[in-house]
Chains A and B, each alone.
Chain A
């Protein structure tokens, strides 16, 4: 690992900004009113955006320190100025900073749940999409540069949508498990149902954009030797974990969610099973993001030997 601080900051950015975007988006399409009342959207968006801006600033300084080869504490203002002036990565950082600052500023002002959800979705999308310039998405030049960037942004947004939905579902399930009121269980069930179509779109987007990215970053000539490089091994681990997530999500959708609807008398067993499965899925998602944070600092196979 080149720089553990940079990898940790990248993971933190994916988690916080992904959650801000995904939770807000889920509040727009999947959260039933009963669930919405139990859910502190405003606090989550404001807090997430605040932590995200802090991490974004730290990550920017760490990257500048790496390029200047000075310790973080001895970073000069001119180093940061040079970073801000860099094409792509500089503007992306500015856009991310502004979007997150807007969310932090709006959270105490806007009381409407719907307005908060829209703000979190739109500004969250800008902040999350801007992370594409931190990775390899912005490194492809020429005709395929834009294809790679668009694919990377789609990949980030879909992953954020999934992460946010898992967070909301986990919280609703935990709440209804604790109270086990008929209303709470119904809200959790409706949220799970609401996610079923969105989940399919999300998985489809992740697979399609992932194929484009892998094609561009690994390249057809390097597929056979993938397991020979650290990058390749991490990528294979990531794909295996992603496949595991899809399997768990299918079990949730086709077995556990219908079981919750059927268990009208005592839903506790069905809730426990769902809660366990969402917890495993969320943990897997976090491990995948950690691998992604690491992968983004490594040389992809298509770059080696070029």
Chain B
């Protein structure tokens, strides 16, 4: 009886507590990581936590284009970051239509727990 009650309590506590400590993690993105897609008008990154806009951003670089060797990745000009209503989504609008090739998105994010996390993913435009 007692053990069942404490099990239930432990479960309740773990349920309530576990998500809150997490650093912001990328849970989904458009385009999805490693996907090949038509040129997107908008990139969106969904995180697990509410973000602090000042300390959260992302950059997009082109890492290769078909039939042409690239010495180094090329930054995609003027991506304006914006945040969704829930505060958990970062959207980037490329200034120009993305031309076919491989791209890499590098992000860094800070949530209420004050830890800075970062990551990257790639996608292809066909």
Which residues of A259-306 are within 8 A (CB) of B? 299-300, 302-303, 306
Count of A-B contacts judged by CB separation below 8 Å: 77
Shortest CB-to-CB span from A296 to chain B, Å, is: 11
For residue A79, CB closer than 8 A to chain B, the reply is yes
Q: Which 6 A-B pairs have the closest CB atoms?
A: A303-B21, A82-B54, A141-B20, A142-B16, A306-B18, A67-B55
CB nearest to A145 among chain B residues: B20
Shortest CB-to-CB span from A163 to chain B, Å, is: 25
Given A66-B116, A67-B116, A219-B13, are A299 and B54 also a contact pair (CB < 8 Å)? no
Q: Could you list some 16 contacts between A and B, CB below 8 A? A: A66-B114, A69-B116, A81-B54, A86-B114, A136-B21, A139-B21, A141-B17, A141-B19, A145-B20, A216-B17, A220-B10, A220-B13, A220-B14, A221-B14, A299-B21, A302-B21
> Taking chain A's interface residues, is the majority helix, strand, or loop, or is none over half, making it mixed?
helix
- Alpha-carbon distance A140/B93, docked complex (angstroms): 34
The answer to whether A302 touches B112 (Cβ under 8 A) is no
Which residues of A125-144 are within 8 A (CB) of B? 136, 138-144
- Alpha-carbon distance A141/B14, docked complex (angstroms): 11
For residue B52, CB closer than 8 A to chain A, the reply is yes
For residue A88, CB closer than 8 A to chain B, the reply is yes
Query: Would you give the 0/1 interface string for A238-260, flagging 1 where the beta carbon is closer than 8 Å to chain B?
Result: 00000000000000000000000
Shortest CB-to-CB span from A141 to chain B, Å, is: 4
The answer to whether B21 touches A140 (Cβ under 8 A) is yes
Which B residues are CB-close (under 8 A) to A78? Answer: 54
Q: A68-B55, A69-B116, A88-B112 are in contact. List 19 more A-B contacts (CB 8 A).
A: A63-B114, A67-B116, A79-B54, A79-B55, A86-B52, A86-B114, A89-B114, A139-B21, A140-B16, A141-B17, A142-B17, A143-B16, A216-B13, A216-B17, A219-B10, A221-B10, A303-B18, A303-B23, A306-B21
Given A79-B54, A219-B14, A221-B14, are A140 and B112 also a contact pair (CB < 8 Å)? no
- Alpha-carbon distance A300/B113, docked complex (angstroms): 12
Q: Which residues of A contact B (CB under 8 A)?
A: 63, 66-69, 78-79, 81-82, 86-89, 136, 138-145, 215-216, 219-221, 299-300, 302-303, 306
> Taking chain B's interface residues, is the majority helix, strand, or loop, or is none over half, making it mixed?
helix
Query: Would you give the 0/1 interface string for B72-114, flagging 1 where the beta carbon is closer than 8 Å to chain A?
Result: 0000000000000000000000000000000000001010111
